């Protein structure tokens, strides 16, 4: 776990224009000084991410919002007050402090206050904003432990702050708060139901982001093994069939079938609690990759609460790959 001296060292690394991987309550981020265009450019390079794909600016508290965004609507302030620190990202009009490199050239900026003590200590020691995407190679599974970060990025990151495993396990919910009627651009750690309860009105979910990146493939959050979605009651039979055909099958066994005998290379028992499922999701995908699976069979949970974000990530992980 990160000590005070690690926090100071990480803040110094950011000030020097270098990169720090740090824990948040959702996933680990790959951070750079948000106001340093060259450092931000290196984030894209290390991740292998197209420069038009914008980053999230992490800040220490909601009072700093006016430094980073302009014309912040009252609804955005309400959401910030209720959910920060926490797994909510607000898309707002870009403040002048934010370089265009961080927003992929957009006039809007994504901002959040993360709900992790180590991230907040780092933000406080550093003093500025930290631009950070998830600390994985572009398109692959987000890291939820410091070991995942090291496995993804190795020596290309200058310092890794270890804050233990992430509590939430899926990324933040992104809300477009630029207009009077906010909408969800990416479901995540704050549920649509919780947002609606505060806003007092239904909230549309645009599960494919409005930010269209030319040439971007739908596959994202993807393990090396091919991921195929099947109906829960067919998982056991489909696994057996594929295994007989010579595939190395990994199975996400739905809670309703817990304890069933499955002929497969590796089996992960999906937790019945959505919070536990979200926390474990990316670790399960990595585990099945590590155990040598070439095919993963999973089914979608009910799309309520955190189930909406889990289903979104599974669909994206099952999306067509560049080579296909
Ligand atoms: O939980 C999280 O959000 C994690 C932790 C590290 O904070 N971060 C994360 O970042 O997931 P990343 O870069 O992997 O995903 C950020 C998403 C991207 O899909 C990007 O398109 C979207 O945020 N985004 C960023 N700025 C945006 C903007 N101005 N308008 C619309 N979408 C934006
Ligand atoms: Mg990401």
Question: What ipTM does this complex have?
Answer: 0.99
**What is the atom index within ligand 1 of the atom nearest the CA of 94?**
29
Task: Report the alpha-carbon distance of residue 132 to residue 129 in Å, rounded.
Answer: 10
Task: Report the alpha-carbon distance of residue 238 to residue 259 in Å, rounded.
Answer: 17
**What is the atom index within ligand 1 of the atom nearest the CA of 172?**
1
The pair of three-digit structure tokens given for residue 167, joined into one six-digit string: 């509590």
Please calculate the CA angle 221-226-227 and round it to the nearest 5 degrees: 65
Q: Is 49 among the annotated ligand-binding positions?
A: yes
On whether both 103 and 174 belong to a single domain, the answer is: yes
Centre of ligand 1 to C-alpha 194, Å, is: 20
On whether both 38 and 174 belong to a single domain, the answer is: yes
Beta-strand pair 266-269/249-253: parallel
On whether both 145 and 22 belong to a single domain, the answer is: yes
pLDDT in tens, the chain (324 residues): 678 899 999 999 999 999 999 999 999 999 999 999 999 999 999 999 999 999 999 999 999 999 999 999 999 999 999 999 999 999 999 999 999 999 999 999 999 999 999 999 999 999 999 999 999 999 999 999 999 999 999 999 999 999 999 999 999 999 999 988 899 999 999 999 999 999 999 999 986 544 544 444 568 889 999 999 999 999 999 999 999 999 999 999 999 999 999 999 999 999 999 999 999 999 999 999 999 999 999 999 999 999 999 999 999 999 987 655
Centre of ligand 1 to C-alpha 79, Å, is: 17
Task: Look at residue 281 and tell me if it is in a domain.
Answer: yes
Ligand 1 within 6 A of CB of 27: yes
Task: Look at residue 20 and tell me if it is in a domain.
Answer: yes
**Number of structural domains, the chain?**
2
Angle of helix 74-83 relative to helix 192-199, nearest 10 degrees, comes to 130
On whether both 11 and 143 belong to a single domain, the answer is: yes
pTM of the model: 0.96
On whether both 28 and 120 belong to a single domain, the answer is: yes
Best mutation site among 26, 133, 279 for ligand 1 pocket (most ligand atoms within 8 Å of CB): 133
Last residue of a domain, one of 182, 199, 216: 199
DSSP conformation class of 13 = H
On whether both 34 and 123 belong to a single domain, the answer is: yes
Task: Look at residue 215 and tell me if it is in a domain.
Answer: no
Task: Look at residue 204 and tell me if it is in a domain.
Answer: no
Ligand 1 within 6 A of CB of 178: no
Task: Look at residue 207 and tell me if it is in a domain.
Answer: no
Task: Look at residue 219 and tell me if it is in a domain.
Answer: no
The pair of three-digit structure tokens given for residue 101, joined into one six-digit string: 């490199």
Q: Measuring from atom 22 of ligand 1, which residue has the nearest CA?
A: 54
Cross-strand bridge partners of residue 69? 94
Task: Look at residue 135 and tell me if it is in a domain.
Answer: yes
What is the CB neighbour count within 10 angstroms for residue 25? 20
CB 33 within 8 A of CB 59: no
Domain that holds residue 236: 226-317
């Amino acid at each position: 776990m990160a000590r005070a001296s690690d926090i100071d060292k990480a803040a110094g690394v950011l000030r020097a224009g270098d990169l720090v991987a740090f824990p948040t309550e959702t996933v680990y981020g790959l951070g750079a000084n948000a106001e340093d265009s060259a450092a931000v450019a290196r984030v894209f390079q290390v991740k292998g991410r197209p420069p038009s794909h914008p980053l999230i600016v992490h800040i220490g508290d909601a009072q700093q919002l006016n430094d980073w965004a302009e014309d912040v609507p009252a609804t955005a302030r309400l959401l910030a007050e209720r959910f920060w620190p926490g797994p909510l990202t607000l898309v707002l009009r870009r403040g002048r402090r934010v370089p265009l490199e961080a927003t992929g050239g957009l006039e809007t900026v994504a901002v959040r206050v993360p709900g992790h003590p180590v991230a907040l200590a780092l933000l406080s020691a550093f003093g500025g904003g930290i631009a950070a995407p998830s600390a994985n190679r572009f398109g692959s599974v987000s890291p939820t432990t410091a070991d995942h970060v090291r496995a993804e990025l190795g020596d290309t990151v200058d310092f890794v702050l270890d804050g233990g495993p992430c509590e939430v396990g899926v990324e933040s919910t992104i809300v477009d708060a630029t207009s009077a009627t906010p909408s969800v651009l990416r479901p995540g750690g704050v549920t649509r139901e919780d947002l609606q309860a505060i806003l007092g009105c239904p909230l549309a979910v645009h599960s494919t982001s409005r930010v269209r990146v030319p040439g971007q493939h739908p596959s994202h959050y993807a393990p090396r093994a091919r991921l195929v979605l099947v109906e829960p009651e067919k998982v056991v039979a489909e696994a057996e069939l594929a295994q007989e055909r010579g595939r190395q099958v990994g199975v996400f066994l739905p809670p309703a079938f817990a304890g069933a005998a499955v002929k497969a290379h590796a089996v992960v028992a999906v937790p019945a609690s959505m919070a536990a499922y979200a926390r474990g999701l990316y670790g399960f995908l990595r585990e099945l990759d590590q155990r040598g699976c070439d095919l993963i069979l999973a089914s979608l949970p009910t799309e309520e609460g955190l189930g909406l974000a889990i289903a979104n990530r599974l669909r994206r992980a099952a999306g067509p790959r560049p080579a296909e």
